[in-house]
Amino acid sequence: MTDKSSNAMWGGRFAAGPDAIMEAINASIGFDKRLAAQDIAGSRAHAAMLAAQGIITDSDAEAIREGLLTVLSEIETGAFPFSTALEDIHMNVESRLKEVIGEPAGRLHTGRSRNDQVATDFKLWVRDQLDAAEGALVALIRALLAQADSGAEWVMPGFTHLQTAQPVTWGHHMMAYVEMFGRDLSRVRDARARMNESPLGAAALAGTSFPIDRHMTAQALGFDRPAANSLDAVSDRDFALEFLSVASICAMHLSRMAEELVIWSSAQFRFVTLSDRFSTGSSIMPQKKNPDAAELIRAKIGRIFGANVALMTVMKGLPLAYSKDMQEDKEQVFDAADNLMLALAAMEGMVKDMSANADSLEAAAGAGFSTATDLADWLVRALNMPFRDAHHVTGALVAMAESRGCDLPDLSLDDMRSVHTSITQDVFGVLGVHNSVASRTSYGGTAPSEVRKQIARWKDLLG
């Protein structure tokens, strides 16, 4: 077979044959150029340490420092000539540094490897994303607190199985999401604390014979300490997996809230009105106002879940220490981080802008016999009735009201006494939805007084 026919078999962009395929599969510069700022920060810290330890001269360290600043400026202004042939961001930066400063650039890589270099860069990038996620979660929680504060006394139906269960308050429902996103905030902070160990100086896998100071570079880069085992340091991607795990749980919470906003903004519910900034119209139906931002949040979550599964799959079969498989770690994390931050920002915007329709909430709160549990509780408290008996009596009264097409408060006292003779006029004091929510004063309950306590607690926590 001729070279021409052999090359043709590769087709398209790989017409040049196996060399082109190897370059394409091996290169990561197309995506890891996002690590440029972290790569240069790590190199500057490493060069300063090498000079402090007498491993390179001060003049070489100064040339490296100035050269790296030049390279960073070129990248930030879009003037940097990225090369696929140089594989990754590390080699692209080092090659350009040599062009800028000459021979001293060759001393930068003393006492380190691309293995610890990429682990350090990636950790720094993930740490930045955790910091960004923390800020976004705090902003979302504040938006939810504002909604809860404004509607602490508004009644609405609480649901189980999406069926009317008991009346709750709008503030209580908003505070449920505060608790959920608060746990996400806690996980973000935990993950950041756990991952804050520096791989730099672990070299390829065994450390180095040069008298480096890993504590110095760790401190310079804002790490709490250097990683304690060089083999683990270059093998570890737990920090990326934990970020994806935290992101997946947070994304699930975002999706649940997005689902409720889609339902609540429908013409059948009319619980909330979303702002025009986070809605779209229909191309043919002028009456439509579609909750597209909420729907897209709900959909984008699949990409975050997918990234988590993908990286777990990449890592699950790898022996220590570094394998080229680990090049596949970054695209998953980059995509998940982008979509998480977008989803958090969109949700914060929707929550800040949305208007709860208090009248619609209250009208729905009393429907579906939502105070039936209050009636059963009253029978227990006032008549000393065993709860199972009270449940039976209440069920009979619900059936009576349902057959007459009315709600429980619309039954007369005689109607109720026809089911149980000991019922008194006092029962009507617990059947209104406002009475119902006001009575739920147990810690964490839906009573406005309890909701305001939780709002105050969270405002203190956030400072």
CA angle 379, 382, 388 (to 5 degrees): 30
CB proximity list for 186: less than 8 A, separation 6 or greater = none
Torsion of CA 247, 128, 339, 134, to 10 degrees: 60
The pair phi, psi for residue 330, each rounded to 5°, is: -80, -45
| Active-site entry in 5, 161, 209, 442 | 161
Letter string b/e over residues 414-439, b meaning 16 or more CB atoms within 10 A of that residue's CB? ebbeebbeebeeebbebbbbeebbbb
Is residue 247 within 8 Å of 303, Cβ to Cβ? no
Catalytic residue among 266, 282, 422, 449: 282
Tokens describing residue 6: 């052999």
Tokens at 322, concatenated: 């570094």
Residues near 322 by Cβ (< 8 Å), separated by ≥ 6? 115, 204, 205, 234, 235
Residue found by looking up tokens 């879940």 in the block: 305
CA 299, distance to chain mean position in Å, is 14
Residue 161 annotated to the active site: yes
The residue whose two tokens read 């026919």 is 5
**Block residue for tokens 């059936």:** 399
**Strand bridging mode 163-169 / 272-273:** unpaired
Q: Supply φ then ψ for residue 391, to 5 degrees.
A: -60, -40
Measured at the CA of 261, the angle between CA 256 and CA 267, to 5 degrees, comes to: 140
Strands 197-198 and 225-226: parallel
Nearest C-alpha neighbor of 133 from the set 341, 305, 347, 331: 341
Q: Are 332 and 311 in contact (CB under 8 A)?
A: yes
- Pairing outcome for strands 355-356 and 272-273: antiparallel
- For tokens 């649901």, the residue is 159
Q: For residue 155, which of 351, 438, 397, 420 has the smallest C-alpha distance?
A: 438
The identity of residue 30, as a single letter, is G
Q: Catalytic site residues?
A: 161, 282
